[in-house]
Structures are given as C-alpha cells and as structure tokens.
Amino acid sequence: MTSITPPSVTSLHKILPDEPLLLMGAGPVPVPPRVAAANSMVINHLGSTMAKVLEQVKVMARYVFQTNCGHLMGVAGPGSAAMEMAITNLVWPGSNVLSITNGFFSARLGEMAERVGADVTEYQVPECEGVDPDEIKKVLQSGRFDVITLVQGETSHTVWNKELKDICTLAHEHGALVIVDAVCTLSTMPLEMDKWGVDAIITGGQKGLSSIPGVSLIAFSDKAWERIESRDCPMPHWCLDARLAVQFWNKKGYHYTAPVSGLLALHEALHLICEESLEGRILRHKRCSRALQNAIEAMGLGLYVPEPARLPSVIGINLPAGIIGKELLEHISAVHRVEIAGSFGPDIVRIGQMGEQCRSHHLFRTVHALGSSMQSLGARMDVPAGVAELERSLNQS
Ligand SMILES: *Cc1c(COP(=O)(O)O)cnc(C)c1O
C-alpha cells in the first residue's frame, strides 16, 4: 500500500474574511438570506418535492422572461454553459451565424458558434454604442443567416443594446432566429421574450437574478424548437442537448443529476422577484443605478459610455490620470471591504447594479469607498458632493 501523508491545509474559516466583502463588481452579486438558506439544502433530484420546485421555477421564470413558451429549462453550469446550450442546439456545421459584438461576451457567442462548425460573420458595433438596426438591416440584405446572436447588455464594455425588438423583427423578416444573452440584464430592465420575438434567451444565476453562480436558465421559442427538432446531424454534446434536458424539465425523468441546491436557491431568487414584482424591481434598478451614476459624476469622475447606450446594470468608470485600476481594486477591497471589478478591455473599473447590489445602504458604502480610495491613491475627488448627490438622487424619484 502506498502511504501518502494527507496534505495539511488552512481551515476555510481562516481563509475567508471575518466579515464578508461587499460584492459590487460585475458578478457574482450578494445573495439574499433566503437564497443562501435554500442553497444549503440537498434533496432528492427526482422526488415529488423536486417536481413541485421545478414546476414553480418554470412558472416564475416564464414571468421573468415574459414568455408562455413550453421550452424552458435550467442548466447545471455558468451563464456560458447556457450560452453554449443555445448555440449548440441551434447551430451546426454549415449554419450561417451573424454575431453582433460589442465586447467580450458577445464575441464569446460568435466563438462558440465557430467551434460547432458554423460559418460566422461578425458585425462589430462601434465602441460605446448600442447596435443600430439600420446597420443590421444592411448586413441582412447582403447575405443569408440562420441565427443572429447578441447581448442585451455587454458587461465588459458596459454597453446596452436597446433595440432588441427591432433586431428580432428584422431577423424574422430575413428568416433568421435570434439568440439573446440576458445574463447581466434579466430582471434589471425590461425584456419581453414573446412580444419582442426572441427565439432563445439565456441567463446566469449570479447577476441580475441575485442567485448563486453555476445554475442558469434558458428558454426557446416554438420556432427555435422546430429548428432543434429539424436537426439531422449528430449533436456533439450530451449534457447540453435540449432534447434530452426535456426529460428532466418536462417529463419528471432523468437526464443528469440536477444541481438541486442551486435550483432551490434559484427558486428563492425567482420568488423574491415575484414578490417584488418585475415592475417594482426594474424601477428599483433604474433609480439606484441612476443615483449611483449621478453620484460618481458629482465626485468628479467620468463614465465610460455616454447615454443612450450606457448600460445601467454595470457601470464603467474612467480612471483619472495616475490611477491604476489594479491598485484601486486592491485598496478599496483591503481598506473598505468593498469589491468592484476591473476590466476586460477598456481602461475602466466597473460597478454592478444587479439584484442585491441595488440597495441604498450598499450604494452609500460604495460611493464613499470609491471616492475615498481614489483620494488615497492621489486623485482629487469631491467625496461629500458624491454622497450628497446620491442622497438627492435616491430621494428624487
Ligand atoms: C457574466 C456574463 C456571461 C458569462 O457568465 P458566466 O456565468 O461567467 O459563464 C455571459 N454574458 C454576459 C453578458 C455576462 O455578463
């Protein structure tokens, strides 16, 4: 018998900070206590309790996606797994895909399509702008596409594609389906799957929904489902095969062991949205994000994306001369116990306004921590003006 000494490691409680850091970055976001409590349980994945939970998750997710579609399911995996599930079920070798990109995540959808063998045309939206339907119209007139991919909110470049409805209308006129990534935006701003004609929509848990990372949601329209059913080439993935996932999600059968704890957490996150109402939640996000943007500007900082393409769910902030993003992140975390995000690309830092991040007590702490950290690192800030503007803006609407 081989004798290997068990490794000696530090206990978890010594690794974790005494006091949780306030997660104000681009996700994961803080989870409400009810979500955390649900996440601590394990139940039988095929029992009657789970069946009831799944029924309710579907009913509530339909409300949040604003759809009556019958092809809605969860995914054991990050938002990217849900993206991959949308792509791999609707796209195959020889498919023509138009990938509308405004940054890192929208480009990832294009890359995923390429990896399953599609012929991908990338349309790059000009920096700091939302996609212009007139430009897409020209692209659609120049070629034939089976599928169009885009994000509602591009987290990396903090850009908002507001014209989703027009893009869907155009796509349908040209015989294409539309896959929309709503990972950071779902339940933070309006999105109406059926009314707008979105064919596949995906979201992760850890952003707009304020649930845990690693359990995601996806929904397909009837038209998308027809395409899935029409596939006559092999499906390379097993876990991500939507036709197999139906076993678990619609037929109470076995596909793979579902992430039961994460689904319980998702149930609670969705239930909290229903209790608040989508309308109320969207208003809270709008008010909090607006107030935070105003406060940041009042302190003397500039925002990366001008209106109207500025994403309210994740705000990009220009770094003043002499401030290095990485040093700022370290300082704000070490001194103020607040975490914000760096960037994938532009020279900015980012603050999230998703789910539990949109609470006034978190905003006051964050604005103070940001301004004070900038000052400690040598930038001139008017922190009191920022805090005063936050107070004024929050009370205004
Ligand atoms: C975070 C994010 C993703 C990826 O989600 P993961 O859970 O990290 O895989 C995809 N799209 C957008 C818009 C995101 O913000």
Instruction: Encode pLDDT of 93-136 as tens digits.
Output: 999 999 999 999 999 999 999 999 999 999 999 999 999 999 99
- Tell me if 55 is assigned to some domain: yes
Q: Is 373 in the pocket of ligand 1 (CB under 6 A)?
A: no
The residue out of 223, 251, 275 marking a domain boundary is: 275
Same domain, 47 and 59: yes
Chosen domain end from 250, 275, 300: 275
Domain span including residue 249: 33-275
Q: Which residues pair with 351 in a beta bridge?
A: 315
At 261, which amino acid appears? S
And the tokens for 221?
């329209």
Beta bridge partners of 203: 217
Burial class (CB in 10 A: 0-12, 13-18, 19+), 378: exposed
Query: What's the number of domains the chain is made of?
Result: 2
Residue 189 lies in a domain: yes
Regarding whether 45 and 108 lie in a shared domain, the answer is yes
What sign does the CA torsion over 361, 213, 371, 105 have? negative
Q: Is the CB of 183 under 6 A from ligand 1?
A: yes
Decide: 80 in ligand 1 pocket, CB within 6 A: yes
State whether 248 and 285 are in the same domain: no
Decide: 101 in ligand 1 pocket, CB within 6 A: no
User: Which residue has the CA at smallest separation from atom 3 of ligand 1?
Assistant: 79
> Do 268 and 307 belong to one domain?
no
**Helices and strands in the chain, H and E counts:** 15, 13
Q: How far is the CA of 350 from the centre of ligand 1 (A)?
A: 15
* 142 CA to centre of ligand 1 in angstroms: 31
Is 15 inside a domain boundary?
A: no
Residue 97 lies in a domain: yes
181 lines ligand 1 (CB under 6 A): yes
- Statement to judge: residues 56 and 167 lie in one domain: yes
- Determine the pLDDT at residue 389: 98
Determine how many CB atoms are found less than 10 A away from the CB of residue 137.
Answer: 15
Q: Parallel, antiparallel, or unpaired for β 71-76 and 215-220?
A: antiparallel
- 243 and 318 both lie in a single domain: no
Question: 């949040």: which residue's tokens?
Answer: 64
- 217 CA distance to ligand 1 centroid (A)? 12
CATH number reported for the structural domain that contains residue 113 in this entry: 3.40.640.10
Residue 6 inside a domain? The answer is no
The kind and range of the H/E element at 314 are strand 314-318
Instruction: Residue 317: give its domain's CATH number.
Output: 3.90.1150.10
212, 332: one domain: no
**Dihedral angle computed from the Cα positions of residues 153, 154, 159 and 162, in that order, rounded to the nearest 10 degrees:** -30
Asked whether residue 359 is domain-assigned, the answer is: yes
pTM above 0.85, yes or no: yes
Within-domain flag for 153: yes
Q: What is the pLDDT of residue 397?
A: 63
Which ligand 1 atom is nearest residue 80's CA?
Answer: 9
Q: Which residue is closest in CA terms to ligand 1's atom 12?
A: 183
Tokens of 63: 């409300």
> Is residue 151 lining ligand 1, measured as CB closer than 6 Å?
yes
Instruction: Please state the atom number of ligand 1 nearest to the C-alpha of residue 27.
Output: 1
* 194, 342: one domain: no
The letter for the amino acid at 293 is: Q
The 8 Å CB, 24+ separation contacts for 325-328 are: 325/349, 327/377, 328/373, 328/374, 328/377
Is 181 within the bounds of a domain? Answer: yes
Measured in Å, residue 343 CA sits from the centre of ligand 1 at: 14
Same domain, 64 and 133: yes
Q: Pull the structure tokens for residue 185.
A: 């935006």
Shared-domain flag, residues 232 and 285:
no
Whether residue 141 is found in the same domain as residue 290: no
- Cβ proximity of 317 and 349 under 8 Å: yes
The per-residue pLDDT string of the chain (397 residues; one tens digit each, 9 = 90 and over) reads: 677 899 999 999 999 998 889 999 999 999 999 999 999 999 999 999 999 999 999 999 999 999 999 999 999 999 999 999 999 999 999 999 999 999 999 999 999 999 999 999 999 999 999 999 999 999 999 999 999 999 999 999 999 999 999 999 999 999 999 999 999 999 999 999 999 999 999 999 999 999 999 999 999 999 999 999 999 999 999 999 999 999 999 999 999 999 999 999 999 999 999 999 999 999 999 999 999 999 999 999 999 999 999 999 999 999 999 999 999 999 999 999 999 999 988 999 999 999 999 999 999 999 999 999 999 999 999 999 999 999 999 998 6
- The whole-angstrom separation of Cα 126 and Cα 123 is 9
Domain's final residue, options 275, 302, 327? 275
Dist. CA 59–CA 128, nearest whole Å: 36
- Whether 291 and 269 map to the same domain: the answer is no
